Amino acid sequence: MSDALLDLLKDVMSSPWVYVALFALAVIDGFFPVVPSETAVITAGVFAATGEPGLVPVILVAALGAFVGDHVSYFIGKSSVGRFRRGRGRGAFDWAAKALAERGGLVLVIARYIPGGRTAVTLTMGGVGYPRRLFALFDALAAGTWALYSALVGYLGGLAFEHDPIKGLLLGLGIAVTIAIVTEVVRHVRHRRSAKPPAPAPDEDAPAPLPIP
């Protein structure tokens, strides 16, 4: 079974159509996050360690696909701006607009590494009318670093198990999952700390406690 799977993966990865597939998966994942584009890029990185496909083309097409997909998500959010401004979504809209105005670029780059976070942020940035040129600038950084990271994680796994790409793929996916979990835990801890209410200030008009005899 593993030999058949390995032969199939080798056939797919040695085909020039693999670049078209990687691009398409990255585009769709930008606005439909159930598509496993990161897994596909990691897999391509594993086999790039054996020579096919090329590592640099994998990084380039994955980055370009992610960039295009994020812009599709941005424009979907922009076309739904009225929904953000009305009813129950108004408070979230106002909060997102303030947060993105303060640290929009950082939010976009970090969200690239949070499962489902990339789509939520790009939709919101379109919905709150975040400047498109700034969005494109920060998204180029986010998509480029994501593609580089995903491909290199797979490539390192492929180098570690040069004669057993399946183990290299498992290692690469394990590294990616571990990093995603650590990122999510850190984000959750920071969110809980920032959500703690400040300690109440002492009441100056309150009477001083009586001394204990």
1 pLDDT higher than 50: no
Angle between helix 89-111 and helix 117-127 axes, rounded to 10 deg: 130
- pLDDT confidence bin for 142, thresholds 50/70/90: very high
Residue 8: pLDDT band by 50, 70, 90 thresholds? confident
Q: What is the pTM of this model?
A: 0.76
What whole-number distance in Å separates Cα of residue 15 and Cα of residue 10?
Answer: 9
pLDDT tier, 95 (very low <50, low <70, confident <90, very high otherwise)? low
Residue 22 to residues 26, 28, 182, 213: CA-CA distances in angstroms?
6, 10, 26, 79
Q: What residues have CB less than 8 Å from 112, skipping those under 6 apart?
A: 66, 118, 142, 143, 145, 146
3-state secondary structure of 184: helix
Closest CA to 118 of 77, 61, 175: 77
Q: What angle do CA 90, 92, 69 make, to 5 degrees?
A: 110
Please tell me which residue, 83 or 172, carries the higher pLDDT value.
Answer: 172
Q: Please tell me the predicted confidence (pLDDT) of residue 157.
A: 86
pLDDT band with cut points at 50, 70 and 90 for residue 74: very high
Summarize pLDDT for 96-122 with one digit per residue, the tens. Answer: 667 677 777 888 888 888 767 788 888
144, 64 contact by CB (below 8 A): no
Q: Which of 74, 88, 69 is nearest to 125 (CA)?
A: 74
Summarised one tens digit per residue, pLDDT across range 25-57 is 999 998 888 878 888 898 889 888 888 889 999
200 prior amide bond cis, ω within 30: no
Q: In the prediction, which pLDDT does 31 show?
A: 87
